[in-house]
Chains A and B, each alone.
Chain A
Amino acid sequence: MTRGMAHKSTVEQADLDRLQAHLEEHFQPRDHEEAQELILGALQHVQHEFGWVPLEASQAIADHLGVSVNRIYGLLTFYADFRTEPPGEHFMLLCHGAACFVGGSQKLIHELRDNYGIGQGGTTADGKLTVQIVNGCLGVCDLAPIVQFDHEKYVGNLDVDSFNAAIEEITANGSQREDHGAD
C-alpha cells in the first residue's frame, strides 16, 4: 500500500480500494484455517497504515477472509494494541515496565492525568498527542523511564520536567509519520 493516508480521521474510498488491493495480493489464504490465522495480521496492517482500525476496513477484512465483522470487533476490543478511534497527530508509547516503574514512570502517568487530562489510550484535547501506556516492556531498560514517540524516537532517563519538555518539543512540530508501528 502506498504511504500517505496517515492520521486521517475519516476513510475515503481510495484508501479502501488500496486496502482491498493489498489484501488480494498479500492475504491469500489457501483454506479457511489459514484465513482465520490471517485476521490479526490484516488488522495490524490496517493499523500500521491508518493508525487505527476504521469500521469500514474491518468490514473489508471480514468480507475478504470470510469471517463476521462481529468477530473482528471481538478481537479489536480484546487486544490492547488496536485502536478503533483515530489517534492524534503524534503518538507516544510510555513504557510502564518494572524497570521504568522503579525509575518513576508512575509520576509521568500522574503528570499525564493531571496536566494533560489523558490516560491509557487517550488523546489530548488539541488532538496533538495520543498516549499508549505499555504494560509490557520496551526493552530499553538502561534508559528507564523511557517513552517512544511516533514509533522511532526514544527519549529516556525522564523526570517530570524533561518529560514535559519532550512532549512540548514533539508536539511543536507537525506530524512526519509515515506509518504506525507494528505491521
Chain B
Amino acid sequence: MVLTDRAAFDAHAARVRAEFESYTSDSEWTISVCVSEDSKAKGVLDTFEHLRFRIESGDIEARLRTTGGGGWAWADPSIIVSGPNHPAVLYGNVGSDDVPGLVAALASGHTYDAGLIGAFGESDTLPAVADHPYFKLQTRLLTQNWGMIDPYSIDDYIANDGYAAWIKALFDMTPEEVVDEVKASGVRGRGGAGFPAGIKWESGRRAQARPKFMACNSHEGEPNVYKDRRLIESDPHRILEGIMLGCYGVGAERGYNYVGGEHLLAVERFRHAVNEAYRLGLLGDNILGSGVNCHIRLLTGGGAYICGEGSALMYSVMGERGQPRTKPPRSVEEGLWRRPTVLNNTETLAPVPDIIRNGGAWYASLGTERSTGTKLVSMQGPLARLGVVEVEMGVSLKDILYETYGGMAEGKTLKGVQTGGVSAGPLLPDQLDVAVDFDSLQQYDCMLGSGGFVVFDDSVDAVEFGRYLMDFNRWESCSKCTPCRLGNKALVEVVDRILNGRGQERDMQLIESTAKHVMELSLCGLGQVAPAPLIGMMRCFPEDFEARIDAASEPIEAGEQQRFVIPLAAVGA
C-alpha cells in the first residue's frame, strides 16, 4: 500500500495506533520477546520457540510477538508480558527452562516471580520498573521504543508517533525552520568531537553546489562501544527518520547510512526499514504529494576502524580505500563525490524526530547548558549489570557505575575506568565523581568520546592494557602517514620490551617522545590520539610500569636481539 497524501498517512497512523494499543489492552495476553544481537547470543530464540510451543499446545491463549532489545543486556533473555489484570511487566533472564513455570503462573493469573523486574504501567501490587536501580537514573528518550516495538514493523513505529516529525516537516515547516530547530536544540555530535549539529546543518544548507548529500555514520568500530548498533537494531526507523529530516533540512535528495559490516542484525533491520518506508511511500519521489524527493542508500563497512573518520568514511562509500585526507575543504563543502555532504553520528540523528516534533527548546531543557539532551552510555567490564543506558547529560559517572550498573561484580576491586574509547586515558577510582558531558572529563585529560567506558579490576595490568589499546590503534592505522604507521608500531615494540622483562628506565622517556611525534605529525584524528591511552595508563599507573622495569634483568647483551621478536606482533594480537 502506498500512501499518497497527508490525509492517507493520518488515517493509516490512527489505524495502526489502535492496533498497537491492543498489545497492552487487558482483554488478551501479549508476550513480547526482546530480540537483539546480544539476547540472541544468550539464547532468546530458544525462549521464543518454547513459548510458541506452549501457546500452540494450548497452555495459554496469548499473542506472541518479537520486539527489539531493550538495552538491558544483564536481564536478557527478557520478555514483556501484558494481559488481563496484568500491566505490562518486564521479566528478565527467562531461559527456555523458565518457560513452563512462567506460562503456568500466567495462565493461573499470577506473576512469575523468579524473573520479575517490574511493571511499566501503574500497579498496586508490583514494583515499578522506574524504581529499579537500573532504570532509576535513566531518561529514556532515544531508547523509548526499545523493547516495545517490533523493529521489523514500520506500523509499530508509526503507532508511537513515528514519522510524525517527517510529516510535520514536509507540510508545515520550511527546511530553514527544520535547521533552526536543530540549532536551537543545541545537540552536539555524539561521535566524539561534540561539534554542534545545527551549525553543520546550516553550513550544509548554505552550500551552493548541487546535488548535496546527507550521511549517517553508524560504523562504530571501537572496541568498547555498542550503542549505535543497538539504536538501529531496536528502533531502525528512528535513525532513518533522522536521516530523512537531515536530507530535507540541508536540501539533499539522497541520504546514506554507513553501517559497520560486523553488525549483521543492524544491517538487516535497517535494510528492512528502508524497504518498508519505500513501500509505504515515505521515501521516493514526490513524497505524499509534497513535491519532496528523498532516497536512502545503505552501505556496509569492511572492518576498518578508520572508516569511522569522516573523510575515510566517504572514500569508503565511494569504493576507495578508507584513508583520510587533509582538510579543508571540510565535507560540508566537498564530501561525497566532491559535493556538500553533512555527516552525523547515528546517535546525533536519533533525537532529531523528537526535536522536530517537540521543538528544539524542549530538547535543550534536557542535560546541561553546554551539553544538551541525553547520552547513551555503554559501560563494560566486571560489573554487576551490563547494558546500554541513557542518561541526561551531566549525571555523575560514579552514580551511573554504582547505581545503574550496580557497582563491581562480586569479588572484583575497581582499578580504573578507561574513557573515550581508544582515544584517551583512564580515570582513577577517586576521579569518578565527574559529570558525563562533553567538557567535564577533560579536567582529567579524559574524554567522553562516544560514551563507551571500560571498567577494569586489579587483575588487569596497566602495562598490558596500555599495550592492548596501543596495539589496537597500530593495527587500525590506515598507513597513510609515516608517524602513525611506524611510530605506533615502535611504541608497541617498546611496551613489549617492558612486558618481556627487558625494560629500561629510558623507555618511559622514549614512549613519551615517540608519542609526541605521532600525535603532532599525524594527519587525522586516529593518529593524533593513538598513543593517548598508553600515555594515560603511564600517568595513572606508573607503579605498574616501574615494577616491570625494576624487575628487568641485566642490560641486553649483544647477539640477544632475537629475544625481542615478539610472536604476538606477527599475529596482530
Binding site for B on A (CB under 8 A): 33, 36-41, 43-44, 67, 71, 74-75, 78-82, 93, 96-99, 101-103, 106, 109-110, 112-113, 118-120, 122, 133-144, 146, 148, 151, 154, 156, 181-183
B74 contacts the other chain (Cβ, under 8 Å)? yes
Chain A residues contacting B224 (CB-CB under 8 Å) are: 97-99, 137
User: Once the chains are docked, how many angstroms separate the CA of A166 from the CA of B284?
Assistant: 48
Asked whether, in the complex, the Cβ of A122 is within 8 Å of the Cβ of B468, the reply is no
B197 contacts the other chain (Cβ, under 8 Å)? no
Asked whether, in the complex, the Cβ of A119 is within 8 Å of the Cβ of B570, the reply is yes
Asked whether, in the complex, the Cβ of A133 is within 8 Å of the Cβ of B38, the reply is no
Asked whether, in the complex, the Cβ of B229 is within 8 Å of the Cβ of A139, the reply is yes
Most B CB contacts (10 A, CB to CB) among A98, A109, A142, A146 go to A98
Chain B residues contacting A67 (CB-CB under 8 Å) are: 319
Known: A75-B321, A136-B222, A182-B262. A102 touches B305 (CB 8 A): no
Asked whether, in the complex, the Cβ of B74 is within 8 Å of the Cβ of A142, the reply is yes
B260 contacts the other chain (Cβ, under 8 Å)? yes
B105 contacts the other chain (Cβ, under 8 Å)? no
Asked whether, in the complex, the Cβ of B302 is within 8 Å of the Cβ of A82, the reply is yes
Chain B residues contacting A135 (CB-CB under 8 Å) are: 221, 223, 303, 305, 472, 475-476
| Residue of A102, A122, A139 touching B460 (CB-CB under 8 A) | A102
Asked whether, in the complex, the Cβ of A98 is within 8 Å of the Cβ of B223, the reply is yes
| Residue of B42, B454, B469, B567 touching A99 (CB-CB under 8 A) | B454
B18 contacts the other chain (Cβ, under 8 Å)? no
B263 contacts the other chain (Cβ, under 8 Å)? yes
Known: A44-B302, A120-B573. A140 touches B38 (CB 8 A): yes
B94 contacts the other chain (Cβ, under 8 Å)? no
Residue of A with least CB distance to B452: A98
User: Once the chains are docked, how many angstroms separate the CA of A141 from the CA of B379?
Assistant: 9
Q: What would 21 A/B residue contacts be, using CB atoms closer than 8 Å? A: A36-B320, A37-B317, A44-B261, A44-B302, A71-B319, A93-B262, A96-B573, A103-B382, A106-B573, A109-B568, A120-B572, A134-B262, A135-B221, A135-B476, A136-B223, A136-B305, A139-B38, A142-B38, A143-B38, A181-B262, A182-B264
Binding site for A on B (CB under 8 A): 37-38, 40-42, 73-74, 76, 220-226, 229-230, 260-264, 267, 297, 299-305, 316-322, 337, 378, 380-382, 386-387, 418, 452, 454-457, 460, 464-465, 468-469, 472, 475-476, 478, 567-568, 570-573
Residue of A with least CB distance to B478: A78
Asked whether, in the complex, the Cβ of B262 is within 8 Å of the Cβ of A40, the reply is no
Name the distance in Å between B161's Cβ and chain A's nearest Cβ. Answer: 28
Most B CB contacts (10 A, CB to CB) among A43, A138, A141 go to A141
Chain A residues contacting B297 (CB-CB under 8 Å) are: 37
Asked whether, in the complex, the Cβ of B572 is within 8 Å of the Cβ of A37, the reply is no
Asked whether, in the complex, the Cβ of A142 is within 8 Å of the Cβ of B226, the reply is no
| Residue of A36, A39, A98, A143 touching B42 (CB-CB under 8 A) | A143
Asked whether, in the complex, the Cβ of B300 is within 8 Å of the Cβ of A41, the reply is yes
Name the distance in Å between B566's Cβ and chain A's nearest Cβ. Answer: 11
Residue of B with least CB distance to A134: B262
| Residue of A44, A96, A119, A156 touching B41 (CB-CB under 8 A) | A156
User: Once the chains are docked, how many angstroms separate the CA of A99 from the CA of B388?
Assistant: 14
Given A96-B573, A102-B457, A182-B264, 8 additional A-B pairs, CB 8 A: A36-B318, A41-B300, A44-B300, A75-B321, A79-B301, A98-B454, A98-B468, A139-B37
The 10 closest A-B pairs by CB, nearest first: A119-B571, A79-B302, A139-B226, A99-B380, A81-B303, A154-B41, A36-B319, A98-B224, A142-B386, A80-B303
Asked whether, in the complex, the Cβ of A122 is within 8 Å of the Cβ of B41, the reply is no
Chain A residues contacting B262 (CB-CB under 8 Å) are: 81, 93, 134, 136, 138, 181-182
Known: A101-B465, A106-B468, A136-B223. A78 touches B321 (CB 8 A): yes
Chain B residues contacting A79 (CB-CB under 8 Å) are: 301-304, 322
Name the distance in Å between A36's Cβ and chain B's nearest Cβ. Answer: 4
Chain B residues contacting A134 (CB-CB under 8 Å) are: 262
Chain B residues contacting A44 (CB-CB under 8 Å) are: 261, 300, 302
| Residue of B220, B378, B380 touching A102 (CB-CB under 8 A) | B380
Asked whether, in the complex, the Cβ of A182 is within 8 Å of the Cβ of B418, the reply is no
User: Once the chains are docked, how many angstroms separate the CA of A144 from the CA of B386?
Assistant: 11
Asked whether, in the complex, the Cβ of A37 is within 8 Å of the Cβ of B299, the reply is yes
Known: A40-B319, A102-B460, A106-B464. A119 touches B302 (CB 8 A): no
Asked whether, in the complex, the Cβ of A136 is within 8 Å of the Cβ of B41, the reply is no
User: Once the chains are docked, how many angstroms separate the CA of A120 from the CA of B386?
Assistant: 28
Residue of B with least CB distance to A138: B262
User: Once the chains are docked, how many angstroms separate the CA of A154 from the CA of B386?
Assistant: 18
Residue of A with least CB distance to B263: A139
Chain A residues contacting B264 (CB-CB under 8 Å) are: 151, 181-182
Asked whether, in the complex, the Cβ of A37 is within 8 Å of the Cβ of B380, the reply is no
Chain B residues contacting A140 (CB-CB under 8 Å) are: 37-38, 41-42, 73
Asked whether, in the complex, the Cβ of A39 is within 8 Å of the Cβ of B319, the reply is yes
Name the distance in Å between B256's Cβ and chain A's nearest Cβ. Answer: 9
Asked whether, in the complex, the Cβ of B475 is within 8 Å of the Cβ of A182, the reply is no
| Residue of A80, A109, A118 touching B304 (CB-CB under 8 A) | A80
User: Once the chains are docked, how many angstroms separate the CA of A71 from the CA of B380?
Assistant: 39
| Residue of A33, A39, A109, A144 touching B337 (CB-CB under 8 A) | A33
User: Once the chains are docked, how many angstroms separate the CA of A36 from the CA of B476?
Assistant: 24
User: Once the chains are docked, how many angstroms separate the CA of A79 from the CA of B573?
Assistant: 17
Asked whether, in the complex, the Cβ of B568 is within 8 Å of the Cβ of A113, the reply is yes
Asked whether, in the complex, the Cβ of B223 is within 8 Å of the Cβ of A142, the reply is no
Name the distance in Å between A87's Cβ and chain B's nearest Cβ. Answer: 15
Asked whether, in the complex, the Cβ of B302 is within 8 Å of the Cβ of A38, the reply is no
| Residue of B319, B337, B387 touching A142 (CB-CB under 8 A) | B387
| Residue of B225, B321, B322, B573 touching A137 (CB-CB under 8 A) | B225
